[in-house]
Amino acid sequence: MMRKGAVLAALAGLALSACATSGPTGLEVRDRATVNSVIAWSPAASAANWNAEALDRSIVGMPILIKDNIETADMPTTAGSLALVNNAPGRDAPLVARLRAAGAVIAGKANLSEWANFRGADSISGWSAVGGQTRNPHALDRNPCGSSSGSAAAVAAGLVPAAIGTETNGSIVCPAAANGVVGFKPTVGLVSRTHIVPISESQDTAGPITRTVADAALILSAMAGTDPADPATAEADARRTDYRAALDAGSLAGVRIGVARFASGYHNGTDAVFEAALADLRAAGAELVEITEGPEMGPIGRAQFTVLLTEFKAGLNAYLASTDPTQVPTRTLADLIAFNEATPRELALFGQEYFVQAEATGGLDDPEYIEARDTARRLAGPEGIDRLLAEHDVVALVAPTGGPAWPTDPVLGDNFTGSSSTLAAVAGYPHLTVPMGFVQGLPVGLSIFGAQWDDARILSLGYAYEQQSRAFRAPAFLNSVNDNEAIAPLLSPAVSQ
């Protein structure tokens, strides 16, 4: 394995070489030929002055991709939908403004699962009508997961050192794990959601996707902070810290960590890699505590879905009302449903059942919604993560983030095997995924999640694990997982006929 400095230096040279030879066009050619992760490159990308030495001090000159449901002043924000293709409000989301103020270069807009994977039940992660299908750089026929598909694939492919994703449930940690990189979903309220196309006021947040935990901590330090326009962030200035300075390679020593067995067991290969990750945690000094029983997920999932449908309608209608009607003629969710029905490319692969269900909801004053919101928060937070931490006297929980990437299938949609994202997502608590190994050449991640506002500790524990495991591996860009040297011989007859 290459040491961290060598990895950063090689990646910096790769990105700057592509920029220097032909500006963003060089990056665009590489992207289109491989992962198709970016909807639009900014001309500013060619001015990126990113080098490995500067990364230890600041993000000055670092090119960062922004998921295309987050507004930037210099590029349209489409959420992957043709209905928003001309949505150019000329404003930066506060988190983008913070990144620019810290010296980052906004390199472009990353493709995503259209509407952040909240349109239809048989969706294809990484596909949008605007950007097409993003591919997994480890095997191009495999799915990148979503909805921050382009953000994770671009970082894994070495096109940029970092990207910003968003998550409602799994949309940062799943693509990060499936593409073999680091993804961090902060506590809801640590990072502003203003000028981000919404799904859920209760669960939405933005977060960094990077190749290392240190870079994720660096970027979070720049992004985090109070935004008067987002009441959820009222405590952010008081809670935020220098997350990179708080990293400690020895932070696992003597610490009790809960092994969330109830969030594993859905894929044998992933479970085997998880056992190796647990051995690394022990080697780093952690005391592991087995937890076999967790919260019942059915009631949490049902309450969550009611919350998402109701909040999506209210939030999206408010967002559309904030756009320029000359750029975005669809002014409501009902208009958007009609637009999709009249636009063949939008509904050619899957439907909009969630849109239709959301349109039928009764609003934020509906008692059914209020009960579901309170139930979801209680079951996932105080009676979920908080109870597990207290009863087992542990500071965090670990589990596999999810299984290896499935084949992209435009006919049947996603073949999702399982994940550990729901508890932290519904509670609004921090969740980090770090590369933990490979299943037949496909990466899988280790999830570390814990209490509300415990972001610094979660990042530090992940950093300590990362230094022990050194599990990151650059992608091979195989056309198919069947080309893997360990798999290919097994697909031919054992004896020639």
Pairing relationship of beta strands 396-400 and 205-210 according to DSSP bridges: unpaired
DSSP string, 302-359: HHHHHHHHHHHHHHHHHHHHTS-TTT----SHHHHHHHHHT-HHHHSS---HHHHHHH
281 CB neighbour count, 10 Å cutoff: 24
Q: Which of 81, 113, 123, 147 is catalytic?
A: 147
Distance CA 314, CA 322 (A): 13
- The tens digit of pLDDT for each residue in 274-308 reads 999 999 999 999 999 999 999 999 999 999 999 99
Lowest mean pLDDT among 4-8, 68-72, 314-318, 407-411: 4-8
Q: Which of 67, 109, 185, 313 is catalytic?
A: 67
Q: What's phi and psi for 164, nearest 5 deg?
A: -105, 130
For residue 162, give the nearest of 61, 287, 19 by alpha carbon: 61
What share of the chain has pLDDT > 90, as a percent? 90
Instruction: Give me the pLDDT at residue 57, please.
Output: 53
Tell me the mean pLDDT in the region 306-311: 99
Q: What's phi and psi for 116, nearest 5 deg?
A: 55, 40
Strands (E), 146-276: 162-167, 182-185, 205-210, 256-260
Q: The pTM is what?
A: 0.94
- The tens digit of pLDDT for each residue in 107-148 reads 999 999 999 999 999 999 999 999 999 999 999 999 999 999
Residue 171 known to be catalytic: yes
- The tens digit of pLDDT for each residue in 25-67 reads 688 889 999 999 999 999 877 655 555 444 455 799 999 999 9
Q: Which of 123, 125, 171, 192 is catalytic?
A: 171
Q: What is the pLDDT confidence band of residue 233, given thresholds at 50, 70 and 90? A: very high
Q: Is 255 helix (H, G, I), strand (E, B) or coil?
A: coil
Q: What is the pLDDT confidence band of residue 6, given thresholds at 50, 70 and 90? A: very low
Residue 17 has pLDDT above 50, yes or no: no
Q: Is 485 exposed, middle or buried (0-12, 13-18, 19+ CB in 10 A)?
A: exposed
Residue 309 near residue 352, CB atoms below 8 Å:
no
For residue 136, give the nearest of 441, 373, 491 by alpha carbon: 441
Residue 313 known to be catalytic: no
> Which structural domains are found in the chain, ordered by start?
4-295+375-483 (3.90.1300.10)
Residue 17 near residue 39, CB atoms below 8 Å:
no
Q: Is 282 exposed, middle or buried (0-12, 13-18, 19+ CB in 10 A)?
A: middle
Residue 67 known to be catalytic: yes
Distance CA 402, CA 143 (A): 13
